[in-house]
Chains A and B, each alone.
Chain A
Amino acid sequence: MRLAGFLLMPAGGIIVLAALSMLPPGAAREAFVLAGVAIQGFGLGVAIRSHLPRPEEKE
Chain B
Amino acid sequence: MKPPVLPDNVAALAFVCVLLMPCAVAGLALLAAGLARSRNVAHSLLSALCAVGVAGVVYFAVGAAWQGTPGGREAVLWAGGRPWGWIGSGRLLLLGVSGDVSSAPLFTMFGLFAVCLAAIIPLGAAAERWRLGACCASTAGFAALVYAPFAHWTWGGGWLAQLGATFHLGGGFLDTGGAGTVQAAGGLAALALAWILGPRRGKFHPDGTPAAVPAHNAAFVLAGCFLAWLGYLGLNCAGALLFARCDVRGAAIVPLNVTLSAGAALLAAAAVTRLRYRVVDASLCANAWVAGLAAASAASSAVTPAGSVIVGLVAGTLVIFSVEWLELRLKIDDPAGAVSVHAIGGLWGLLAAGVLANTGPEQWLAQVVGIAALLGFVLPAAYGFNWLLDRRRSQRVPPDAERRGLDLHELGAGAYPDFMTHEEF
- Does B379 contact A9, Cβ atoms closer than 8 Å? yes
Interface: B360 (CB within 8 A): no
- Does B380 contact A58, Cβ atoms closer than 8 Å? no
Q: How far is the CB of A13 from chain B (nearest CB, A)?
A: 2
The answer for the CA separation of A2 and B176 in the assembled complex, in Å, is: 34
Which residues from chain B contact A9 at a C-beta distance below 8 Å?
Answer: 375-376, 379-380
The answer for the CA separation of A25 and B203 in the assembled complex, in Å, is: 50
Of the listed stretches B98-106, B243-251, B306-314, B363-371, chain A binds B363-371
Beyond A9-B375, A13-B377, A14-B376, whether A20 also contacts B383 by CB under 8 A is no
Which residues from chain B contact A48 at a C-beta distance below 8 Å?
Answer: 330
- Does A37 contact B365, Cβ atoms closer than 8 Å? no
Please report whether the interface of chain A is mostly helix, strand, loop or mixed according to DSSP. helix
Interface: B158 (CB within 8 A): no
The answer for the CA separation of A19 and B93 in the assembled complex, in Å, is: 37
Beyond A10-B380, A59-B206, whether A25 also contacts B168 by CB under 8 A is yes
Which residues from chain A contact B206 at a C-beta distance below 8 Å?
Answer: 58-59
The answer for the CA separation of A38 and B259 in the assembled complex, in Å, is: 33
Within 8 A of A (CB), among B315-338: 330-332
Q: How far is the CB of B199 from chain A (nearest CB, A)?
A: 7
- Does A44 contact B375, Cβ atoms closer than 8 Å? yes
Interface: B167 (CB within 8 A): yes
Interface: B204 (CB within 8 A): yes
Partner of A21, one of B82, B208, B330, B331: B82
The answer for the CA separation of A37 and B244 in the assembled complex, in Å, is: 27
- Does A59 contact B80, Cβ atoms closer than 8 Å? no
Inter-chain contact total with CB atoms closer than 8 Å = 80
Within 8 A of B (CB), among A7-59: 7, 9-14, 16-17, 20-22, 25, 29-30, 33-34, 36-37, 40-41, 43-44, 47-48, 51-53, 58-59
Range, interface on chain B: 20 to 34
Beyond A33-B365, A52-B330, A58-B206, whether A16 also contacts B380 by CB under 8 A is no
- Does A37 contact B79, Cβ atoms closer than 8 Å? no
Which residues from chain A contact B80 at a C-beta distance below 8 Å?
Answer: 20-22
> Nearest A residue to B372 by beta-carbon distance?
A16
- Does B377 contact A37, Cβ atoms closer than 8 Å? no
The answer for the CA separation of A29 and B368 in the assembled complex, in Å, is: 12
- Does B372 contact A13, Cβ atoms closer than 8 Å? yes
- Does A34 contact B368, Cβ atoms closer than 8 Å? yes
Which residues from chain A contact B383 at a C-beta distance below 8 Å?
Answer: 6, 47
> Nearest B residue to A29 by beta-carbon distance?
B365
- Does A20 contact B368, Cβ atoms closer than 8 Å? no
Q: Which 5 pairs of residues, A with B, have the shortest CB-CB distance? A: A13-B376, A21-B80, A16-B372, A40-B375, A10-B376
Supply 17 further A-B pairs (C-beta < 8 A) apart from A6-B384, A21-B80, A58-B208: A6-B379, A6-B383, A9-B379, A11-B376, A16-B373, A16-B376, A22-B80, A25-B168, A33-B369, A33-B372, A37-B371, A37-B375, A48-B330, A51-B195, A52-B330, A58-B204, A59-B202
A selection of 21 A-B contacts at a CB cut-off of 8 Å is A11-B376, A13-B376, A14-B376, A16-B368, A17-B79, A20-B369, A21-B80, A25-B168, A33-B365, A33-B368, A33-B372, A34-B368, A40-B375, A41-B375, A51-B195, A51-B330, A53-B208, A58-B206, A59-B202, A59-B203, A59-B206
